[in-house]
Chain A
Amino acid sequence: MRNKRLVNYAKYGYFFSIPFILTFCIFTLYPVIYTFVLGFTDLKGAGNTEWHWLPSVGKNLFTNFTDVLTSKTFHKAFKNTWIIWILNFIPQIGFALLFTAWFTDRRSKVKGTGLFKILFYMPNIITAASMAILFQKLFGYPVGAVNQLFNANQPYNFLINEWPIKLIVAFVQFFQWYGHTMVNLIAGVIGISPEIFEAAEIDGANRVQTFFKVTIPCIRQIMLFVLVTSLIGGLNMFDIPQLLVGAKAANGAALTTNMYIRNQAFDGSYLYNRAAAASVILFLVIVILSAIVFYILRDKDEARLKKLRKQELRAAKKGF
């Protein structure tokens, strides 16, 4: 009965989805396909919109892709992106977990957690562009705040050496995101049934045991969510390295893949085709990594479901 009535309204389902589908096709799907196509063409030059397939101008169809994949600059950018992401993610998840453990601990009841949460989250809403330039000034040479605080007599020029640059970019990323991660994790912990913690307490588990054996397994899903979103964000890193030091500082110490793509397309020779090929490569990397993480996620859920179903079957058999 109910189903029948809903079927009558089915056309509204299509009708209400039209704006989304139209916009999506025009502004996402078409450009994505266009980007893919451009990867196989000879399109370059500022303002140029005319292109030819590579084979028709006597080149291998995959020239752009092989150019990108064999480019030393691209290798460097790809490596940098990973290094900076890892340098930011490990302390980020580490401190987020530590604060989560402290702020949700039932036994020590820390006061002022609300205020700390709000403060730690604040850097996340500030424009990354402003943040990058601010930190550039703070680490400035010879009169930046950091130099004045720690080495007033022998100021150190942080922003011309490879590893200091990488560490500072990673630090600004960390600074912007650890509060966000922490708030996500705390929400996960609050969602855990208090009975589980009570049971652990009665069984004599200490704080550390409770955290590692009860809390962390319970928020595994959220940790994976944080990992995936951070990974995608990290591989698309642009604002902070671009404005903090730019692509050329210390021989490209902070050059990320997104900066590489933008530089190919909009600087110098306007190699749209090569930029398109590079972004397709980046896209494939993200898809593969996300697929792996989602596979891990889904597998566990299904395994659990299967187990439940088996138990139900067994119970049903017993009933018979």
Chain B
Amino acid sequence: MANEVKLHSIKKNETALKVVIYVVSIFFSIMTLFPFVMLICNSYKSTYEVQASTLSLYSKEPLKNLAFNWKQITSKDAFHPGVGFRNSFIVATLSTVLNVYFSCLTAYAITAYEWKLREGFNAMIMAVMMIPGTVTMIGFFQMAYKIGLVNKLSALILPSIAAPMVVFFMRQYLQASLSMEIVQSARIDGAGEFRIFNQIVIPLMKPAIATQAIFAYVGSWNNLFSPMILLTDKNKKTLPVMVSLLNGDIYKKEYGAIYLGLLITVLPLIVVYAFLSKYIVEGVALGGVKS
């Protein structure tokens, strides 16, 4: 009898706990989505409508406002979403390719070959992971200024060949998944070392490459600090730098236009995330376990 009462109360506690879990989780979900809903539902309103109520979903003439807001943001000679997109796309794509390929190559060099300075090199990679971007920035800017790299997108692309964090991750992955027997047998078959890397090792690393490529892409796409310093030409600015211009005085009174401008910069990321979210979340998890 007493046992039954106890069981009953445990069950009741169980239900209560579940209710709390769901309530809090759903609250956080709403909190996450709220800013994005605001973003969408203000992008098709006129300034007057935004001022009257930010929260309402209703607009009298959504299409007309949308067109007007679009004209507002693109006519002011500062915010060119097309140009920003193109620059961000070039920078992010090329950096990601270089970053991932050369990180794999470096990780392979550390894992597969025994050379004298290997341990030292490995230790150095671990150490330089700590260097914050700011410390390189002042010196880098001065150097770029001297050799004419200011306003060149390559100044943002080339440095990604050396990405210590990614090398570290790739090495962890290779150590677990590369068997030297495969490499040996390819050597016996007469394949050169470089070909072995490209045709055997790279395919082997696909899962790790996918994960790191996504992060490299998002990281490069979202980077603000160095582009803001290095790019002053308005035709070279990347999207985040353009976004920062939305903050300026010229758009102070154009509430609807600002929301639309932000939406343009955020939407592609949300669409990509909708397709890749599973891999992204799993990729973070992979990084977490390995570290």
Contacts and interface: CB of A to CB of B under 8 A. Distances in A.
* A, B in one complex: yes
Interface residues of B, number: 96
B29 interface: yes
A184 B285 contact: yes
A117 B28 CA distance: 11
Contacts of A98: 24
A129 B55 contact: no
Contact of B262 (A5, A14, A99, A130): A130
A276 to B, nearest CB: 5
Nearest to B291: A225
Contact of B239 (A49, A99, A127, A242): A127
Nearest to B136: A31
Nearest to B134: A279
A290 interface: yes
A49 B130 CA distance: 28
Given A20-B162, A121-B277, A180 B284 contact: yes
Given A35-B139, A261-B134, A187 B158 contact: no
7 contacts: A49-B146, A98-B24, A122-B32, A135-B35, A175-B32, A243-B247, A258-B225
Interface of A: 3, 5-7, 9-17, 19-21, 23-24, 27-28, 30-38, 43, 47, 49, 95, 98-99, 102, 107-108, 110, 112, 116-123, 125-131, 133-138, 140, 143-145, 148-149, 175, 179-180, 183-188, 190-191, 221-222, 225, 232, 235-236, 238-239, 242-243, 258, 261-262, 265-266, 272, 275-276, 279-280, 282-283, 286-287, 290
Interface of B: 14, 17-18, 21-22, 24-25, 28-29, 31-35, 38-39, 42, 50-55, 102-103, 105-106, 108-110, 112-118, 121, 128, 130-143, 145-146, 158-159, 161-162, 164, 167, 184, 193, 197, 218, 221-222, 224-225, 229, 239-240, 243-244, 246-247, 255, 258-259, 262, 265-266, 269-270, 273, 277-278, 280-281, 284-289, 291
